[in-house]
Amino acid sequence: MTSHREWLINFNNSTKTKIRFADNRTIPAEGVGDVLIKGKKGNQALITGVLYVPDMKTNLLSMGQLLEKGFIMHLENNIME
């Protein structure tokens, strides 16, 4: 989830839903798209199905969903590669 509409490619604003947080607050998602991530070494990865949530204060990335899609991650000293 991200509030950065400019990051989203292949954006579809007809997909609307509500996001419910652990404290039962809800905020609207105004669409869905893909985000192209560029690594330090020039490699790229496309993360699909990213929700556009204008009221999000920070980005939310599910490592579990990335693993399901075949991404490989290495986390060390608070840095994910």
Torsions phi, psi of 49, nearest 5? Answer: 70, 35
Q: 35: how many CB neighbours lie within 10 A of its CB?
A: 18
Question: What DSSP character marks residue 68?
Answer: H
- The pLDDT assigned to 67 comes to 84
- The pLDDT assigned to 41 comes to 78
Structure token pair of residue 14: 């007809």
What is the residue range of 20's domain?
Answer: 5-80
- The pLDDT assigned to 75 comes to 81
3 state SS of 65: helix
- The pLDDT assigned to 14 comes to 93
Alpha carbon distance 30, 19 (integer Å): 10
Number of structural domains (the chain) is 1
Per-residue pLDDT of the chain (81 residues; tens, 9 = 90+): 999 999 999 999 998 999 998 999 999 999 999 999 887 777 788 899 999 999 999 999 888 887 887 778 788 888 777
Give the predicted TM-score (pTM) of the model: 0.80
